[in-house]
Structure 1
């Protein structure tokens, strides 16, 4: 990932059973812990970590795009963010404890921050360990002995961020029992009988307790630094030296594995990116935001529960030799965190750069040919370019070649498919845009001091000036948004799909080193990924937060309520700067877009598959919006049967169906729209073909 690649990363915690608490000695002599304490050897920051804290503070204050005043307001924001990420489910501590914690730590973090100290963070984390161990002991003991009644009309709140903390121990333990009952139901519906479930849960909680006993200072530091850095913006994060080593391996995409970038969110290992050209990408079985809860080796190896594991340890389990297989137990993102887990099997391999490259296909509609150019990412071999190597990998080169091939095939229109394209090289986004416009600005970049830079397409050649559509979804981000926004601002084509991610910021990696290495055995202090600039459209609006809105909306099955820049509480706001001068080409008018939109909406009503898609999407969204899940087996089973039906119909590529997935549905509807546009263009240009493919020379 170069610094232009979107860091669509909700950087999470390195450990799971996150909670928060305070000791009597920490708050005051007259304060008594409300729950029995569990013995924990206190974690303390190492000398290296203390030094890292000072450098993180310096860079955040001097170099971050957002100039944040260091005062009690920042202190409370960091504290609240720490609290939310340690105990987001509000299932560890009581209301009185939270109040005491806020009173004691709420206004002191800013003073420690200025000094580069992490005293409060470690104190809170040590208390978390006490409570986490207590909860795991309770969960294991209950799992070993409980006899649940699944006929009772109980429910569990899955989203408790607006719920109060339990008022007393009775409420807290009642919540823990409901959580256990929910886990039991999930396993019962997907895995087997009560005896095997009891054994598996008991083993899981015992392993989690073991993990808690093995916590290190780095776990506390990473958890606290997450709260500090994301209080500036969600894409700023700190990597310890060990964690950055894995980050580098991940970016090189050379290690044999499944081809997915992972992150931690609370207790879960979450798929942050499915790397184009990798095994997960080729299989189409693993999706962004899927939660990995178990890992098994080979076809029959035991699946180990990895909830609560450090991200580095999960990665080690998943990586392996080329040709070997790994089984992942996941909660699919499409189900909104509900429903039974499913198991996917992947064959480890290296990322195939050829499969990462742009590719083409042709869809025929009413004797019209519509070319499709799928761009998984905006890639560029920087070293090859620098050394002027022949045929170095470049999105612009590949798309240029494809346009020539589509011209030879006689296509009447082109769809550029940017769904799931998380970004990549900014240079390539600008150059690919230049293939469709004569010349002019493509994107503006503003730094923290107010300086502005305009990146332009300087090449006057246009390789294709016929009808064009850009197909996007919620995962289209960064460089993809720059391309789509430019096509829209120039009036060059029609944007189809759903609002894009809204990641309009630029990150830079800063290596933290001691200035006088001879004074210390360890010179490296880690890395800081820092937000340093912001993207703006040539029309002046930012792509940040709001993304690019489609001209014609075709929603996907992605849960847009939980995915996107606007879901982060600390994301930089949408803003505007002055527009830069450019000449719209106006290849498509607003009147034509209106006619296309009306035709599409009419087709949705008339066409059976479209009606089914809209119906199932409505059902899925209604299920996702429910904050509670039933703990009655009959109701639980009915809801999950519905989820299973929708997944089979739209997400598992059922070979018996003409349109095997919602991906096919969106692409085919886009082809219908372009077929209509071809007709509109032909009716307005008597005797003139819709296509105008120009020479590449």
Structure 2
């Protein structure tokens, strides 16, 4: 069973103590908040209830308390697989006192309710492990209904027993279909369930506190979050694409922390001793400091010991991968450095579109931008090498320009956003000057954020590729490019997140305090396109649409019950470089004809339809014959596709022979092989990207040979947007 990790917890005023479960092998949770947590709760309440800070403050009244309580239960046990209705009834009296608990920092109920949760997890896991001693009958027509969001709470423990029996049965069947024998299946699942229980037992008071506060913040706004000092550090590192440490991606496997991947240019890579699969069992500070045994530690606690200021030393005790868990321990001293996370930065490549029907071959540059990253601290210090999405994209564009490429596709698929400043500055690489986005604050004041530089990094043909995972800053950029008529927007309708967040450091208020209270990512404004339209809910609608890979009812801003509504404000004057309306029917016709003969694109569409059909069922069969037939059908489909690829000279799918469900979870797989599988996935055929480049090439060819059409589509003859000369 795929369990939802707790990502919540709320303050509940307790009138009578709840019975607590005792676990000898897990740290005891506190029964009350620390002094710092009490202060933090009060500070967060002050932010979220005050219109001077929050864009849409929400009073902590009875209705809000009820909402927080509901979100707490959903976040704690969203699949309703641990609590019974009796538990929910027992918690209900706390609902009325939530407001007082949050305002006053009286957070005892958060810890006590969590203790009950731990107890229920222990009971369920104990039952699941007991089931492994028996055999299962896979000849019946049973179904495991895994989508339980809207079902009522279980009326009894017996009802949960039946749910877990089907869940364990499904886990067993997956491994059996993958070729595992009963003894191996029992061992794998027993360890899996024990690991789940241990991960819950390892949660600390600071985790419960963060879960609790986020049940409150999410009731105010789906994009407002509380970060503890540690999670705030992780968030800031992700945004800056850099960290100070040894330069290795770590993963927990069983009771050890294992190196998953070595980051190029970091101390580990430069030293050359450690490699993927090596196990870190001890960490010491300095060249001669004592080494602490970290076996059994949480991974974030191990990471906290390994990270540190640049130019300081860390001692690592490790076991090489090839020597096994009982191998000889080795010692290594590394000097920490600032490490750039280059794998997450913008990347470029060139696609060749062959000549056809008398039209010339074209070369199209592609830039894949996974996030709008910026090293805020580095920029504040005016560091010469601070990480910036715009700066990195500008370098790639300069290379494309030098190579005289015919067009550029900016791939923003699954780019969830990032820095607002980067979205504005990145837009400025493609327009001469002008407004990019309008920002409306809580008081109603509208500020127009503009690109003020006349310099243009790329004035040629441009397309922006988007999907449902493109959000926030991605929508600002794509919307501006569309409003200016600067380029074609291709793909799926975007996420629909039209709000602006700011990081508020809670340590700014208590005088002299640092890194004690954490940070809040707070919604402070709503953004609007220069056309006046909000992207909220509606997103950015592409000029040329690909089939939707995910339904708007399943993913996107519209799925949040407390998201802001769509609205619009007045447009602001801006340059109109082009109007692609007259060109779109011709592009659509060519696109339709091309994908009808494009095997990869058709296969992608088939896979999307199959995925959506399976997801709509919300259950999975527990009949072995039926499941095996489905697996064999998928095997044949992959084999047939590979044969056709080979026959037609297409790029072979590097994962075609290794894409069956192995029944394992991520931390159960061989780390080295799993990492190699991830790298291979990056080389899989990408028909959507290639088709986007082909559409852009079509646009260039059509406008180049049809001057009247070009004059109609691109009336601007100079400056940015010079598609055809």
Measured after TM superposition, the shift of residue 153 of structure 1 is: 1.2
SS of the residue aligned with 2:101? helix
Measured after TM superposition, the shift of residue 491 of structure 1 is: 1.8
When structure 1 is superposed on structure 2, of 127-136 and 557-566 the one drifting more is: 557-566
Counterpart Cα distance in 1 of 2:362 and 2:718: 13
SS of the residue aligned with 1:506? strand
Within 5 Å, give how 1:152-551 maps onto structure 2: 152-190=140-178, 192-248=180-236, 250-251=238-239, 253-254=242-243, 255-256=245-246, 298-299=276-277, 312=300, 351-353=340-342, 356-366=345-355, 367-376=360-369, 377-380=371-374, 394-513=388-507, 524-551=516-543
Q: Aligned-pair RMSD on alpha carbons? A: 4.6
Counterpart Cα distance in 2 of 1:565 and 1:76: 22
2:10 and 2:212 in contact (8 A); partners too: no
Change (3 A) 1:649 1:387: farther
Counterpart Cα distance in 1 of 2:623 and 2:378: 60
Counterpart Cα distance in 1 of 2:431 and 2:276: 50
- Determine the structure 2 residue equivalent to 1:91: 81
When structure 1 is superposed on structure 2, of 53-62 and 308-317 the one drifting more is: 308-317
Measured after TM superposition, the shift of residue 498 of structure 1 is: 1.3
1:368 and 1:411 in contact (8 A); partners too: no
Measured after TM superposition, the shift of residue 98 of structure 1 is: 2.4
- Determine the structure 2 residue equivalent to 1:128: 117
SS of the residue aligned with 2:522? strand
Question: Deviation string for 1:309-328 (max 9, x for gaps)?
Answer: 9673696799998999999x
2:431 and 2:720 in contact (8 A); partners too: no
Measured after TM superposition, the shift of residue 218 of structure 1 is: 2.4
Counterpart Cα distance in 2 of 1:542 and 1:687: 31
* Alignment of 1:137 onto 2:126: yes
Counterpart Cα distance in 1 of 2:88 and 2:407: 60
**Corresponding pairs, count:** 618
Counterpart Cα distance in 1 of 2:213 and 2:452: 43
Question: Which of 547, 550, 568 in structure 1 is aligned with 2:560?
Answer: 568
- Determine the structure 1 residue equivalent to 2:581: 590
Change (3 A) 1:229 1:243: same
Counterpart Cα distance in 2 of 1:484 and 1:70: 37
1:357 and 1:375 in contact (8 A); partners too: yes
- Determine the structure 2 residue equivalent to 1:581: 573
- Extract unaligned runs of 5+ from structure 2: 253-260, 267-274, 281-295, 308-313, 323-337, 654-682
When structure 1 is superposed on structure 2, of 448-457 and 587-596 the one drifting more is: 587-596
What is the TM-score with the length of structure 2 in the denominator? Answer: 0.73
SS of the residue aligned with 1:231? helix
Measured after TM superposition, the shift of residue 79 of structure 1 is: 0.7
Question: Which of 616, 631, 634 in structure 1 is aligned with 2:622?
Answer: 631
Measured after TM superposition, the shift of residue 220 of structure 1 is: 2.5
Measured after TM superposition, the shift of residue 54 of structure 1 is: 1.4
Counterpart Cα distance in 1 of 2:49 and 2:13: 29
Question: Which of 111, 118, 134 in structure 1 is aligned with 2:100?
Answer: 111
Counterpart Cα distance in 1 of 2:435 and 2:489: 19
- Determine the structure 2 residue equivalent to 1:71: 61
Change (3 A) 1:399 1:692: farther
Counterpart Cα distance in 2 of 1:554 and 1:662: 19
- Determine the structure 2 residue equivalent to 1:658: 651
2:416 and 2:470 in contact (8 A); partners too: yes
Counterpart Cα distance in 1 of 2:521 and 2:416: 17
Measured after TM superposition, the shift of residue 634 of structure 1 is: 2.5
Question: Deviation string for 1:241-297 (max 9, x for gaps)?
Answer: 3444444555553244566999xxxxxxxxxxx999999xxxxxxxxxxxxxxxxx9
* Alignment of 1:554 onto 2:546: yes
Change (3 A) 1:584 1:650: farther
Counterpart Cα distance in 1 of 2:409 and 2:165: 52
1:19 and 1:87 in contact (8 A); partners too: no
What is the TM-score with the length of structure 1 in the denominator? Answer: 0.76
Counterpart Cα distance in 2 of 1:278 and 1:625: 45
Change (3 A) 1:622 1:523: closer
Counterpart Cα distance in 1 of 2:463 and 2:584: 11
* Alignment of 1:672 onto 2:694: yes
Counterpart Cα distance in 1 of 2:388 and 2:236: 22
Change (3 A) 1:53 1:425: closer
1:258 and 1:278 in contact (8 A); partners too: no
- Determine the structure 2 residue equivalent to 1:148: 136
2:12 and 2:94 in contact (8 A); partners too: no
1:365 and 1:675 in contact (8 A); partners too: no
Question: Which of 583, 596, 599 in structure 2 is aligned with 1:605?
Answer: 596
Question: Deviation string for 1:644-665 (max 9, x for gaps)?
Answer: 77789999xx998427567620
Counterpart Cα distance in 2 of 1:106 and 1:324: 50
- Determine the structure 2 residue equivalent to 1:61: 49
Measured after TM superposition, the shift of residue 60 of structure 1 is: 1.5
Change (3 A) 1:117 1:594: farther
SS of the residue aligned with 1:603? helix
Measured after TM superposition, the shift of residue 161 of structure 1 is: 0.7
Measured after TM superposition, the shift of residue 68 of structure 1 is: 1.1
Measured after TM superposition, the shift of residue 81 of structure 1 is: 0.6
1:23 and 1:127 in contact (8 A); partners too: no
2:351 and 2:690 in contact (8 A); partners too: no
Counterpart Cα distance in 2 of 1:393 and 1:648: 43
1:20 and 1:128 in contact (8 A); partners too: no
* Alignment of 1:48 onto 2:36: yes
Measured after TM superposition, the shift of residue 352 of structure 1 is: 4.8
Measured after TM superposition, the shift of residue 584 of structure 1 is: 1.9
Change (3 A) 1:126 1:428: closer
Measured after TM superposition, the shift of residue 442 of structure 1 is: 0.7
Counterpart Cα distance in 1 of 2:389 and 2:250: 21
Question: Which of 703, 708, 722 in structure 2 is aligned with 1:681?
Answer: 703
Counterpart Cα distance in 2 of 1:13 and 1:326: 32
Change (3 A) 1:504 1:612: same
Measured after TM superposition, the shift of residue 386 of structure 1 is: 5.9
